[in-house]
Each structure stands twice: as C-alpha cells, then as structure tokens.
Amino acid sequence: MKGNYNIFYTPEKQYPGMPHGEMCGDFMPFYWQGTYYLFYLYKYCVYAVETTDFVSFGQPFLVLRNGSPDDQDWHIGTGSVFAHDGLFLFHYTGFCEGNQDADGKNEQVVMRATSRDLKHWEKDTDFYFRPDTRYYGNLHWRDPHVIWNEELGKFCMLITATQKEGACLRTGCTAVYVSADVRNWEHYKTLYAPRTFITHECHDCFRMGDKWYLTFSNYSRWWETRYRVADSFDGPWEVPEQDDMFDGREFYAAKSVTDGNKRYMVGWESIREDCRDSGRHLWGGNLLVHELVPRKDGRLGVRLPETIRQSFGKVLPIETVPMQGSFREDTEGITGDVPDGFGWAALGSLEETCLFRTTISWKEGTEAVGLMIHADAALEKWCQLRLEVRHGKILMDRYNRVDGDQSYQDERPVTFHENKAEITLVVSGNIMLVYVDDVALTSRCYEIGTGTVGIFAEYGSVRCTQTQLLEQETAEKPMGKN
C-alpha cells in the first residue's frame, strides 16, 4: 500500500517519517510538441518528468540544483516555464532563509534559467528580481508565473506578494508585472487583494471561452487550491457561487496546462505525517491531475482525464452480495431498500489499482447513499463515499474515527440533479479519488488493506446501473520511459 508509481506519480515510495525534502510537490506543467513536462520541487531542487498521457512516466531528471547556504537559491521554489523566441525560460524562486532581516538581502527573490531543449538548463545570473518594496512587503515574493496575455498584448508575470499594510495574516495579494520582451519588467497592478489569506501561492491565470480564471493556493486553513472568475484580465474577480475549489482540502499548488484542446489542473495530493490516518497533512505528496470542465454558468468542474480512464480496460467480476438490508439484482442494475437505517451490499473485490464506476440514483427523502470502499464483511475496517443528498454534499469517511481519533472528514458541496449522479472511483494504494458528476474529492486511507467495493443506503432506497469494475490492462510498470 506504500507508493503509487502509476497515475499518481511520485519519484520514490512513501515511507513513515519521510522528511520534507524527500517529498515532491508544486508541479509546474509545460506542454511542448506532444509531451507534458512536469517540473516539480524535490530535495530543494527542481526535477522534471515527461509523460504523454498522465499514465506512464519517464525517468525523472535534475533541472536546477540548489546552491550553497550563502547563495540566494539555497532552496529553490516554485516558478513557471514558457517558450519565447526559440528559448525556454524558467522563472523560479530563490530562497535563502539566512537572508531574512539582513541589510541589503532578501529571503525570496525571483530568478531565471534558460534552456534550448528543456533538458539542460543554465542559471541566468544577470536576472535578479527583488521584492518591489514601492508597492509590496519585503518578505513574500515568489512563485513567478509568466503568461502571454492577448488582452493586454504583453507578457504578464504573476507574483505571490503581500500588501505593505493590513490585518495580521490577511495581506496576501497577486502582483502583476508586464513586459514586451520578457527581459524588462514593469509594475502593472495588484490584480487581486481580498484581505483574506496569508498569501496566494502558485498562481495561474488563463482564459477558457469568454471567461478569465485566476487560480492560487493557500495554507490559511487547509492545503487548498482555489479559483476566481472574471470577464476580463483586469477583473473584477468574483468568488464562484457555492464552491471555489477543484478538489478537497488535500489538493495543493495546482497549475494548469493545455495541449491546445483540453486543459488540466496539475497539483499534488498531500501525504500525512508518518503515513498514518491520524497524522497531520504535510507538504508534498503524489501527482494528481484533473481535466477542467467549464459549466454553463462560468464555474469550473473537473473530470478524470480520458487517457487515464482508457488505461483501465480489463473487466473484473461483479457479484451482488447483500450484507445488511434488502438488496436485489435485475437485468439492468441493483436496488437496495433500507427505510429503517443503514444497509449495504458488496459488489466486488478491489485490486491495488482499479477503477469503479456506476450511475447511482435514490428515492426522494433518502438520507444518504454511496460507496463502501476497502470494506470487510464485518465492517471492522472500511472507507465510505457518502452522498448526503439532503444536505447537498459528498464526503469521505473511514472506520476508526472514534474516541481518540476525531480528525475531520473530507467533504465538498454538490448540487444533485434529478436524484441521480454518475460516480467514478479510482483507488491506487492508499489514495481514493472520486468524481461525483463533475465534482472531485480525493482522500487517503493508510491503515487499511484492499477490500470490497459496495453500495449503501441510509434511511431510504438506492439503485445502481451501468456498473463496472476495471483494472489496468498491464501490471504496474517500474519507473522508466514506457
């Protein structure tokens, strides 16, 4: 159950007590000529891995090595890659914690490297962008994200910054600088400053259809990636109605990438301390990719990338085994009636990595329906995807949240339509990724082995149709160019 090398990429197996530097995070995706180059932070340096489908990955390679404790890039932080005039440019953050409060020095500085082939990079020692204290504070100055802005006809660099004055831990803002040649940058404006968060990390900004979207992550409450919507780049930027996140509270530092047709959010799923369910969330984890789905009202949903879905082609057997309550099977599906409480039926055995999908519906007045995941017959151990239909939300629950373990549940608000939802569940190792229509919720369960997948209902009736349990066609591959 440790480590996920297929789909949920990580450069090495997870293990209890793994230190911060051994985890990977802050993926910086870049698409070029049919290949996604996923740059990421690892061991205080920048590495990259290639993929064409988010299913199989090449060997990771070193992109930028960190400097000495006296160098500005003693630790290297997040940035972005783009192409201009036959050259690839990587703007990144140079961290030197020893510089904080030192005269004439800065803890965080925007730096740059260049490449001709995306493999071999050279640091540009002439580029050194200090915090612009005319407009912003002197500490947070990182995560440069460069885009070509057709609306302005200029390159834009978004920077994680803070306002010079404001309430404690509420000065986070998005600074924008513009350039005509990507060499000389001038201040444009403070794009977004809601006086809500410590910082807005790992920005992205892009246009889909007739809307602009600004994405950022923050650690004020949880690990979380949020977004805002506007009709133009200059705003005003509005909070989407009902929900402004792409996944739950463990999906962080997501940036987008497009192949010119589809756009994906590429982030990481946080691990827990010592790989325990009761452990606190830590920085870094496994790659997690969602395909963006624009909604008619301008909000964004997500779905499983088609290439990942297509990798599951081996059909596994499904057999309805009622465990509690009244469940029956017919030629079109499975129906369960449990008017007096909880009931469930087992449907099949989960493999280490597999996909389960079904269309689930319920009668009006039903309290909750959903999936039992990694369950055993006695329900001594289990995970549960709950569609709390009367409360308009989905959540992931697990068996051992009693007495001394009262950690929170992972949940998302959902608008249910016509008492029906399409569910896709991907399990791989300790990761459980689920889509309910176009709403994602990813979680982990460390202290449990593989088990059964099933359906349940509470105080009502449930029906499942078009149900499939699938495994990938080939066994888990070792890391390497496949």
Would you give per-residue pLDDT tens digits along the chain (482 residues)? 333 347 999 998 888 888 888 899 999 999 999 999 999 999 999 999 999 999 999 999 999 999 999 999 999 999 999 999 999 999 999 999 999 888 999 999 999 999 999 999 999 999 999 999 999 999 999 999 999 999 999 999 999 999 999 999 999 999 999 999 998 999 999 999 999 999 999 999 999 999 999 999 998 777 899 999 999 999 999 999 999 999 999 999 999 999 999 999 999 999 988 988 888 888 999 999 999 999 999 999 999 999 999 999 999 999 999 999 999 999 999 999 999 999 999 999 999 999 999 999 999 999 999 999 999 999 999 999 999 999 999 999 988 777 666 666 789 999 999 999 999 999 999 999 999 999 999 999 988 888 999 999 999 999 999 999 999 986 444 333 32
Q: How many CB atoms lie within 10 A of CB 413?
A: 12
Tell me, yes or no, whether 63 lies in a domain: yes
Q: Are strands 186-192 and 383-388 parallel, antiparallel or unpaired?
A: unpaired
Residues 164 and 175 in one domain: yes
Tell me, yes or no, whether 11 lies in a domain: no
Residues 191 and 47 in one domain: yes
User: What is the DSSP secondary structure assignment for residue 238, as one 8-state letter?
Assistant: B
Residues 341 and 445 in one domain: yes
Give the torsion sign (CA, 443, 447, 450, 456): negative
Name the CA radius of gyration of the chain, rounded: 23
Residues 306 and 317 in one domain: no
Q: pLDDT at position 404, please? A: 63
Residues 328 and 277 in one domain: no
Task: Give the CATH number, domain containing residue 243.
Answer: 2.115.10.20
Tell me, yes or no, whether 193 lies in a domain: yes
Residues 98 and 175 in one domain: yes
Task: Give the CATH number, domain containing residue 346.
Answer: 2.60.120.560
Residues 240 and 364 in one domain: no
Tell me, yes or no, whether 453 lies in a domain: yes
Judge whether 442 and 434 are in contact, CB under 8 Å.
Answer: yes
Joined tokens for residue 314: 């081996």
Q: pLDDT at position 473, please? A: 81
Q: Which among 280, 310, 340 is the end of a domain?
A: 310
Residues 380 and 334 in one domain: yes
Please state the φ and ψ torsions of residue 135, each to the nearest 5 degrees.
-120, -20
Tell me, yes or no, whether 15 lies in a domain: no
Judge whether 211 and 230 are in contact, CB under 8 Å.
Answer: yes
Cα distance between residue 29 and residue 37, in whole Å: 6
Range of the domain at 146: 20-310
**In angstroms, how far is the first alpha carbon of the chain from the final one?**
23
Q: pLDDT at position 222, please? A: 75
Q: Which among 256, 282, 310 is the end of a domain?
A: 310
Specify the residue for token string 């082995």.
449
Residues 140 and 47 in one domain: yes
Tell me, yes or no, whether 332 lies in a domain: yes
Residues 320 and 252 in one domain: no
Stretch (H or E) spanning 307: helix 306-310
Tell me, yes or no, whether 138 lies in a domain: yes
Residues with Cβ within 8 Å of 125's Cβ and at least 6 positions away in sequence, in order, are none
Give CA separation, 206 vs 218, 227, 255, in Å: 19, 11, 10
Q: pLDDT at position 279, please? A: 85
Domain count, the chain: 2
Q: pLDDT at position 59, please? A: 93
Residues 90 and 217 in one domain: yes
Q: Which among 282, 310, 338 is the end of a domain?
A: 310
Tell me, yes or no, whether 10 lies in a domain: no
Q: pLDDT at position 40, please? A: 98
Residues 152 and 243 in one domain: yes
